[in-house]
Amino acid sequence: MIDAFATDCARKLGYRAGTDLEPIVKHLGGHISYQSLDDVARNEASIRVDGPNQFEIFLPDHTSWERDRFSIAHELGHYFLHFPLKKEPMVAQRFGSNRVEWEANWFAAGFLMPKEEFAAQFEKCELTEVAQHFGVSVAAAEARARALSLR
């Protein structure tokens, strides 16, 4: 259910595999802030949502492009899945392993790697090529392949 919702969100926003996510964040009224290691240690938030079309995503400035893309999609998961339920300002924490975080990860996977397109790429390409096509790490592509029972 989250997977299909995420894929639908990506489609409605005009997202195509491997393209830049920052314009989508801006279109939604959001902003991305990159933080140093010291700032990350002081700020445990990964996203702060002040209201509809008012949010900020916080990313470390030392992570890879692929990691950042998954993180942005993950935070969009919080914005689309969890903020509408609260209907008030919210903050998602950077660290944690609970249902809310799993849902945001499922959203990110479905947003960045839509099931049908992923399966088609996986069938004809090596895993590293699949990861490059979707702009994700090989580990993220491997996890998606397992989740879709392709491995």
Question: What residues have CB less than 8 Å from 15, skipping those under 6 apart?
Answer: 21, 24, 111
Write the pLDDT tens digit of every residue in 122-139: 999 999 999 999 999 999
Residue 56: inside a domain = yes
Residue 7: inside a domain = yes
The DSSP output letter for 31 is E
Q: How confident is the model at residue 151 (pLDDT cuts 50, 70, 90)?
A: confident
Containing structural domain, residue 33: 2-113
Indicate the number of domains in the chain: 1
H or E element at residue 92: strand 90-93
Residue 8: inside a domain = yes
Residue 36: inside a domain = yes
Residue 128: inside a domain = no
For residue 44, the model assigns a pLDDT of: 67
Write the pLDDT tens digit of every residue in 44-75: 668 999 999 999 999 988 889 999 999 999 99
Q: Whose CA is closest to 19, among 57, 61, 71, 69?
A: 69
Residue 75: inside a domain = yes
Does the structure show a pLDDT above 80 at 43?
A: no
Report if pTM > 0.85.
yes
